[in-house]
Amino acid sequence: MGALLDIKGLRKEFGGVTALAGVDLTVNEGEILGVVGPNGSGKTTLFNCVTGVHKPTAGTVSWRGRDLTGIPANAVSRAGIAYTFQQAMAFTGLSVFENVQIATEHCSNTLANFPWTTPASLLEFVGLSGLSEEKAGILPFGRLRLLGLALALATRPSLILLDEPAAGLNDRETTTLVHLVEQFPEHGISVCVIDHDMKLMQMLCRRLAVLDFGSKIADGPTADVLNDPKVLEVYLGGAL
């Protein structure tokens, strides 16, 4: 697997607060990488700096050898990186189908082996075909999360960044999410996911990176990271 996204020395300061303190992180082609850490450790800031929501104070973001550091969010999306936020987002006054149709029509990416080329096929994949005519604003939270996943896929990304995708989901919805996401690499879509649900992360991720106070303190195979004494101390309270 080659490096898809290569982050070097990424630093972000907000006034006198250092949210990221020089993070190095690589996402490889075909992998599902997990990023974990306590609240306030810099996980979402990391995603925001990669996707152009925030401009880094220092450091570089390289995408397939191309420098993306500090470019606008729309340019990041066109490069092939999709981002689902902690808050499920959609055009609430439009139907589920119309939301996905808009995302599909504005996509300029071409991804080989991409199987969901129409709004209908995307909705079928995420299990929302029966709700295509419903207004997005009345969807239950779990269904709205699935719509957000369909919207991200509609951009035909090579990498999806998922920020707490299981937050607010019940066990059945979480299992559905895992089943969907674990299929992405076989279609050429790598994944980097943030979540506090360690059961989810163990199911999805063969590799974990851990942030604490804006610094990376561990990075490696999931089982090894979860047994790292420093990780146990700062994140898991001393025991899994």
Residues contacting 200, CB < 8 A, separation 6+: 166, 174, 177, 178
* CATH number of 178's domain: 3.40.50.300
Q: Determine the 3-state secondary structure of 72 from DSSP.
A: coil
In angstroms and rounded to an integer, the radius of gyration of the C-alpha atoms of the chain is: 17
128: closest CA among 147, 142, 113, 141?
147
Same-domain pairing of 107 and 170: no
CA-CA distance, 167 to 165, in Å (whole number)?
Answer: 6
> What residues make up the domain containing 61?
1-80+158-240
162: closest CA among 227, 213, 86?
86
Asked whether the beta carbons of 100 and 178 are under 8 A apart, the reply is no
Provide the pLDDT confidence category of residue 161 given band limits of 50, 70 and 90: very high
Predicted local distance difference test score (pLDDT) of residue 216 = 96
Predicted local distance difference test score (pLDDT) of residue 31 = 96
Give tens-digit pLDDT for 76-94.
988 999 998 766 677 888 8
More confident residue, 112 or 203: 203
Asked whether the beta carbons of 111 and 66 are under 8 A apart, the reply is no
Report the amino acid identity of residue 55: K
CA-CA distance, 147 to 122, in Å (whole number)?
Answer: 9
Provide the pLDDT confidence category of residue 137 given band limits of 50, 70 and 90: confident
Residue 86, domain member (yes or no): no
Residue 85, domain member (yes or no): no
Q: Which residue among 116, 138, 156 closes a domain?
A: 156
Same-domain pairing of 175 and 208: yes
211: closest CA among 26, 86, 43?
43
